[in-house]
Amino acid sequence: SEFIESSFCHFDSPEIVPIVDVGNLKVAELWHGLTGSFKDIALGLVGKLVNYFLSKKGQHATVLVSTAGNTGSAVARCLAGSNHADVIVMYPKERVDRVQELQMCTVAADNVTVYATVGSSCEDNDVILR
C-alpha cells in the first residue's frame, strides 16, 4: 500500500487513471503523471520497487536508458533522488519532442545524467547492449 500511494502521489488526479465518457465510449486518461505519459503509471511503481530492493540488499545500480522520448523522462523522474540507483538517459539529439527533451534535461537530481546523442535511439540501444 505504501509503495502504491507514494508511486502515484504526484499524479494530478485523485483517481490516478480517471475513466471518462466520450460519446458512447469509456476512455481511460493515462496522462496524469509527472511526465504526462502512460509510462508514469508503471514506472512510478517500478522506481519505488527498484529503490526498495537495492536498499534492502545494500546495493547500488546504474540504470541505462535509451529513449526516443517519454521512457527516458519517466525513468529519470521515477528514480530521481534515489540513493541506490543512478540513471543515465540517452536520447537522439533533435529527434525528440521539445517537451520530452525538457522533461529529461530538467530533472534536478544528482543521480540523473542525460546525454543527447548523434544518431537514433536504435543506435543508442546498440551501445547499451554491447
Exposure of 40 in the CB half-sphere (CA atoms within 13 A): 22
Instruction: Report the Cα 16 to chain-centroid distance in Å.
Output: 16
pLDDT the model gives residue 125: 66
Quote the cell numbers at residue 90. Answer: 540517452
Active site residue 39: yes
pLDDT the model gives residue 75: 92
Is the pTM above the cut of 0.75?
yes
- Number of CB atoms found within 10 A of residue 92's CB: 19
Which residues, given as ranges, of the chain have pLDDT below 70? 1, 120-122, 124-126, 129-130
pLDDT the model gives residue 55: 96
pLDDT the model gives residue 27: 96
Catalytic residue among 26, 39, 48, 56: 39
pLDDT the model gives residue 121: 67
For residue 99, the one-letter residue type is V
Q: Does residue 87 contact residue 63 with C-beta atoms inside 8 Å?
A: yes
